Amino acid sequence: DAMVIQNPRYQVTQFGKPVTLSCSQTLNHNVMYWYQQKSSQAPKLLFHYYDKDFNNEADTPDNFQSRRPNTSFCFLDIRSPGLGDAAMYLCATSRDIVDTQYFGPGTRLTVL
Amino acid sequence: GNSVTQMEGPVTLSEEAFLTINCTYTATGYPSLFWYVQYPGEGLQLLLKATKADDKGSNKGFEATYRKETTSFHLEKGSVQVSDSAVYFCALSEKGGYNKLIFGAGTRLAVHP
């Protein structure tokens, strides 16, 4: 089945230690998104890629970066995680910029 | 700016009860509207959507109708099951721009046998 895959499902890192989260898709969608969802809150968009074009939300901290080396993969890099960055990170894709978004299962990040 | 307001939870129901989760929105233009469901420890799953006024989205016994006059998109189900226990998010995306989803705060539903 075509799907959005996130690895790992659970990630533990130390305060200040860089961490990378991975998302891949078999849907061949043009757009990939990263959301941050803190406990008991709504997901919040961090940034998205339309093909190779990167679009950052205005309030996304500089500590968060992203890479999309090809259509199938997108990475979220947190350069120096703080305790406040502990959250579920959700990847989503859509066929085009106005189409429905499909979400992966998420990666729960713990910062010690 | 655009926003979505959902009724606060938790909503606690007995199995086979009728469910309504209220959702209202504020948006410029004519957004598309969505309900997503999140089961414990999981990501979001699209439950249903509606893209224009008076459209009704439906899936797995859930329904919601896009009401432009009341700017609402209330979620309903006639008979809930224990397996429906989850958090439900109402969301909008504005047409004409890029596809940013604006979510409500989520409503937790707990269904007891």
- Please name which of A19, A10, A20, A111 lies closest in space to residue A73, comparing C-alpha atoms: A20
pLDDT given for residue B79 in this prediction:
96
pLDDT given for residue B94 in this prediction:
73
pLDDT given for residue A2 in this prediction:
60
B80-112 residues labelled b (16+ CB within 10 A) or e (exposed): beeebbbbbbbbbbbeeeebbbbbbbbbbbebe
Amino acid at B95: K
Mean pLDDT by 10 residues, chain A (112 residues): 86 96 95 92 92 92 96 96 96 87 93 96
Say if residues B76 and B18 touch (Cβ distance below 8 Å): yes
pLDDT given for residue B8 in this prediction:
84
Inspect the interface and report whether the beta carbons of B89 and A55 lie closer than 8 Å. no
Q: How far away is chain B from the Cα of A17, in angstroms, using its nearest Cα? A: 25
Rg (CA), chain B: 14
Say if residues A67 and A77 touch (Cβ distance below 8 Å): yes
Summarised one tens digit per residue, pLDDT across range B60-99 is: 999 999 999 999 999 999 999 999 999 999 999 876 556 6
Distances (CA, A) of A99 to A8, A111, B33, B101: 27, 34, 12, 11
Say if residues B6 and B90 touch (Cβ distance below 8 Å): yes
> Chain B, 93-112: which have a CB under 8 Å from a chain A CB?
93, 95, 98-101, 103-106
pLDDT given for residue B9 in this prediction:
86
Q: Judge whether B46 is closer than 8 Å to chain A, CB to CB.
A: yes
Say if residues B108 and B10 touch (Cβ distance below 8 Å): yes
pLDDT given for residue A18 in this prediction:
96
Q: How far away is chain A from the Cα of B35, in angstroms, using its nearest Cα? A: 11
**Which value, to the nearest 10 degrees, does the dihedral of the CA atoms of residues B69, B72, B73, B74 take?**
-120
Report the mean per-residue pLDDT for chain B: 92
Give yes or no for residue B43 having a pLDDT over 90.
no
Distances (CA, A) of A87 to A46, A56, A81, B3: 13, 19, 11, 22
